[in-house]
Chain A
């Protein structure tokens, strides 16, 4: 589904990703862990097509050259990024936003636009999945939402757009235990054999719910170790220093 080969990204001549390789197959859940500043968010941004990076290397997504696509084309192709810091958008309601987004995505996947009633039904259903109060749907996107509400809104949007590959960038950070469970449950219910997840996290607790197939460690712009979920446990217990020492 996703194949990243020798990916480099820099901002203003400052290299951040330095030759990253990663492969994700349909149905898999991957986790990426790594110290602050190692390039995890940069990776998610580069994959989603955020402007401002100097990018080299190859990324293929379902056979397409991902790096040549605009951000919206990537969304149409089935990529979704749950932002570490969701953006507040005054004056645009969640509902209008999602109606345009969903209809765009549907039209590019060969599906007809939704009738108003059907759209509202789907929206309420997906909001319930992450226990997002319906009153949030008529509010401006993320404006005045608490940290946890913003993250739930991200997962709500993900559920609406039904992506093939969802990247969750520290969706669990800043969530209390209940919110974490809600988010994790929501994600778990969206798992299918034909879709995949890339979960960026510092903590084991989200992984407890989601049981990743593969865990990677990202350090200084490169994947330095790949293993199964015991690797995550080991990192949670011992931190990253032992790994740094081992690599040095």
Chain B
């Protein structure tokens, strides 16, 4: 792995700050300004059972040019400052039945590391990629953990930034299933920039879990006619976690389809953010776009039952912001954002059968999450997510 690309010192990089609307809740500039570029990052890659037909299709990315001009500044910044990454080229007509699995090693030394990845799926080719970004266990002791800090004050010492460029050729199909897990004291920033040619099909399933900071950007440009993009997501923030999900889908062509369903759970002292920008350009007639965001805020037991044991806990916080910018007249676009708390009647019903408040809350929260988890198209990821959720403490 080439770890020395044009090294830049952090201070010179103009990371996006909260003055930008898209970064209102997660100030990357401030996060990055407190730590410096990591000069000896681990290889971010762990290959697991690379399917036969993919031998040679995945290579490490050295000095490759971007697949297309950067959609925004961040992708350019990560690309310029990157430590490494991978490049995949699926030639026309190739169909990979078995999914490819990749797991990214956690950051171990203080500082930030940047990686750029590329997937080029040529005409009619198909690929399923399953990626895990697991930053491991929190590195703080239990005493600190029992009193989670206000998310905004949690000091971050390690940060991984990933940028993935996706180019889907005509009729190409790509399915991305990702699990992000980030503990206290760490941050994960991931951005997908996807450019879709006509009749291509992109599916992205994203699970974000953590008590650290995760910012997930999904930018999609539907350039050709009759493209389809399906986004599914679940964020679970706990123990002071701050999970920010941002999507921006831009329809440029005829009869495009986009379907988004996100759920988020903000446990006490934690925050989730959903910002979904949907832009339908004047030529994109007969676009069919759907966006739904359902959000759950959890109350601490102390608030509900008057238990004074953990007085510092506040309820989970949710920011949900759909942004529809529609410039074509013959389109079907619908969106809905809901925010709520667990039904107190349901909690009482479960408690009356002997479940503690926390267990009742956990059971109902899991039920809320399962609607998304059940749709994950990979058994392994699904099992991991359920294990994580089962072990959650808030």
Interface residues of A, Cβ cutoff 8 Å to B = 48-51, 70-72, 74-76, 80-81, 83, 86-87, 89-92, 96-98, 100-102, 104-105, 108, 140, 157, 161
Contact call A71/B351, Cβ cutoff below 8 A = yes
Contact call A100/B363, Cβ cutoff below 8 A = yes
- CA A104 – CA B371 in complex, angstroms? 26
Judge whether B56 is part of the interface by a CB distance below 8 angstroms. no
Across the interface, A51 reaches (CB within 8 A) one of B344, B349, B364, namely B344
Contact call A101/B364, Cβ cutoff below 8 A = no
- Chain B nearest CB, measured from A117 CB (Å): 21
Show 6 A/B contacts (Cβ-Cβ < 8 Å), sorted by A: A48-B348, A49-B352, A51-B305, A72-B355, A100-B363, A104-B359
- Chain A nearest CB, measured from B294 CB (Å): 12
Across the interface, A75 reaches (CB within 8 A) one of B345, B353, B357, B363, namely B353
Interface string of B269-309 (1 = CB under 8 A from A): 00000000000000000000000000000000000110000
Residues of A within 8 A of B364 (CB): 89, 91-92
Contact call B370/A91, Cβ cutoff below 8 A = yes
Contact call B351/A161, Cβ cutoff below 8 A = no
Residues from 316 to 374 in B contacting A, C-beta threshold 8 Å: 343-346, 348-357, 359, 363-364, 366-368, 370-371
Residues of B within 8 A of A87 (CB): 343, 345-346, 348-349
- CA A81 – CA B350 in complex, angstroms? 11
Residues of B within 8 A of A96 (CB): 363
Residues of A within 8 A of B304 (CB): 51
* Total count of chain B residues near the partner, CB < 8 A: 24
- CA A119 – CA B385 in complex, angstroms? 26
- CA A98 – CA B353 in complex, angstroms? 8
Question: Lowest 7 CB-CB distances: which A-B pairs, in order?
Answer: A91-B367, A75-B354, A71-B351, A101-B353, A87-B349, A105-B354, A104-B354
B345, B351, B366, B371: most-surrounded residue (chain A CB, <10 A): B351
- Chain A nearest CB, measured from B330 CB (Å): 36
Residues of A within 8 A of B363 (CB): 92, 96-97, 100
Residue of B nearest to A104 (CB): B354
Residues of B within 8 A of A98 (CB): 353
Contact call B351/A75, Cβ cutoff below 8 A = yes
Residues of A within 8 A of B349 (CB): 83, 86-87, 89
Q: A71-B352, A89-B350, A105-B354 are in contact. Are A100 and B359 (CB under 8 A)?
A: yes
Q: A51-B344, A89-B346 are in contact. Are A104 and B367 (CB under 8 A)?
A: no
- CA A49 – CA B306 in complex, angstroms? 13
Residues of A within 8 A of B343 (CB): 87
- Chain B nearest CB, measured from A113 CB (Å): 13
**A-B contacts besides A49-B351, A104-B354, 5 pairs, CB < 8 Å:** A49-B352, A50-B352, A89-B367, A101-B350, A105-B353
Residues of B within 8 A of A100 (CB): 355, 359, 363
B344, B350, B357, B370: most-surrounded residue (chain A CB, <10 A): B350
Contact call B348/A50, Cβ cutoff below 8 A = yes
Residue of A nearest to B371 (CB): A91
- CA A100 – CA B356 in complex, angstroms? 10
Across the interface, A72 reaches (CB within 8 A) one of B345, B346, B356, namely B356
- CA A104 – CA B363 in complex, angstroms? 14
Residues of B within 8 A of A102 (CB): 354
Q: A51-B304, A89-B367 are in contact. Are A97 and B352 (CB under 8 A)?
A: no
- CA A83 – CA B348 in complex, angstroms? 11
Residue of A nearest to B362 (CB): A100
Residues of A within 8 A of B356 (CB): 70, 72, 104
- CA A221 – CA B336 in complex, angstroms? 44
- Chain A nearest CB, measured from B54 CB (Å): 37
